[in-house]
Structure 1
């Protein structure tokens, strides 16, 4: 595949000034961090203009398979929209029901079709930011089916671990290895938010949510409730906090000072889910650190 014009790529990898047109690709029922990210994005207008939300597949102990996970995610997206009194028509789309296997055509879905159409309709000077906080099956399918959209989008993806980490293996990345490879190999402008040492820093405690969210709004009470009741959050441990991983891509879009980033050559993702480096490959932007305090101050102000 022909590489993007280097000058265009560099423009796309700069932090965006002004309004950001975006779509959110989310495995919303996978745990409880996607719900926070979805609400935060929808509450961050006019800086973030959320044009559409795509349900992404997932498979863990909360689903029977990727298709079932996608359906559960769509139901959760619709529940969030209802709590915020927002219409879902024309804004919420079902995604892939299986992982990416055919890199020639991608996995067909309403989300894939909408992403292609929305990207192609974007003006040259107004790219669409594709924020992914789940397995990138929908995003990769669109890039495979319509490579031309690389010139109209910027992918901001939470996945993998830092490029110096001994393994890249992380939930979003390993769920669909082929789709993850597409992000690094296609040449699409990519901003990578790794989990270890970056997204994991977006931590909150139940006491903090009870103080700033619970009872202050319907959606704040809901988020506090699902956090408190999450099965992998032991309430009895003093000092316990939990990662709200999926806030990290939004943090970078909202304020560049909250997330330290550098330009790196796009890594090669191996079969063993490790990183291999080749300095001649195209550049991507990689986050190295996240300042959680201003992020949560903004979150609580908007949701409380």
Structure 2
């Protein structure tokens, strides 16, 4: 790939594009919004596959259990959204994290991406939106390193460069995978969590006013947020980030209507949960500002159609 083409692939796509989504959909409430937003944006985004990503926290007993629960949640959202997707397009991902930066974790998702990407090119790339631990994507790049020419990765992971650390859930779960993706030279768009996309949050009154009861999908999304918030903030004022939506929104960010970004030298995710820096590394695109109201307006309009 030429340098000019590489930089072009870091811009917001202007044409209709093919997309795969890698999501730990059962981990939090925001993945469901992101998946629904993707499914409700067929005017530009053609969904080719959805991969279940591993996660391990209070909502799972292991990374494998998190992946299995995410697989089931993906199917639930697709049904609620009334989306017509090809048979077999939802695939199970990694059952564990990378053991090092050289050994892939083989899974149906990683194998699918490694093969699927061979049908694309630098001039017509496949867009890979990742909103969980990036194990599946890193594994595909390790299985078939040449696919970095044919894909663009959009990842919600890490924190803002000036936040003080990179100890964000998606990145901290699998630092080796993050190092593979940030270091291999694949065109990468990073949406950092704390310090940038944490501005994309909503409250219960907003949910109730804009989407609750509009359809089965909207009611489900509302209740998942409210139930989650009631578990940790019952009787208190609360708001809830649904930041995973911003990764999908990057693909729809014509004229920077939803976010602002710049090119930077690719930072280095370190195992001590900080970033390393080398100004001679290749460029990635770094999102540094979210235009909250404009994005919520588009999200709510599509969810309530």
Name the TM-score, length of structure 2 as normaliser: 0.95
Partner of 1:198: 196
Aligned-pair distance for 1:182?
Answer: 0.7
Q: Counterpart of 1:301?
A: 301
Indicate if the aligned counterparts of 1:104 and 1:145 stay in contact, CA closer than 8 A.
no
8 A Cα contact 2:5 2:123, kept in partner: no
Question: 4+ residue stretches of structure 1 with deviation over 4 A?
Answer: none
Deviations 1:25-82 (A, max 9, x none): 0000001100000001100112111111100000000000100000000000011111
* 8 A contact 2:39–2:83 mirrored in 1: no
What's the Cα RMSD here? Answer: 1.4
Equivalent residues in 2 for 1:6-45 (5 A)? 6-45=3-42
CA–CA separation in structure 1 for the residues paired with 2:295 and 2:122: 30
Equivalents in 2 of 1:8, 1:98: separation in Å?
A: 34
Q: How does 1:180-199 map to 2 (within 5 A)?
A: 180-199=178-197
C-alpha distance in 1 between matches for 2:115 and 2:189: 22
* Aligned residue pair count: 300
Report the CA distance between 1:102 and its aligned residue. Answer: 4.2
1:292 aligns with 292
User: Are 1:234 and 2:233 an aligned pair?
Assistant: yes
TM normalised by structure 1 equals 0.95
Which secondary structure state, in structure 1, belongs to the residue aligned with residue 233 of structure 2? Answer: coil
Contact 1:190–1:285 (8 Å) recurs in 2: yes
- Deviations, residues 180-208 of structure 1 (Å, cap 9, x unaligned): 11111111100000001221111111111
Q: Structure 2: which 5+ residue stretches go unaligned?
A: none
- Tell me the equivalent position of 2:241: 243
CA distance, structure 2, for counterparts of residue 170 and residue 268 of structure 1: 14
TM-superposed deviation, 1:219 = 0.2
Q: What is the deviation of 1:167?
A: 0.4
| Distance of 1:7 and 1:96 partners within structure 2 | 34
- Specify every segment of 5 or more residues in structure 1 that has no aligned partner in the other structure, as ranges: none
Q: Distance in 1 between matches of 2:58 and 2:192?
A: 23
| Residues 1-304 of structure 1 mapped to structure 2, 5 A cutoff | 5-87=2-84, 89-231=87-229, 232-238=231-237, 240-255=238-253, 256-304=256-304
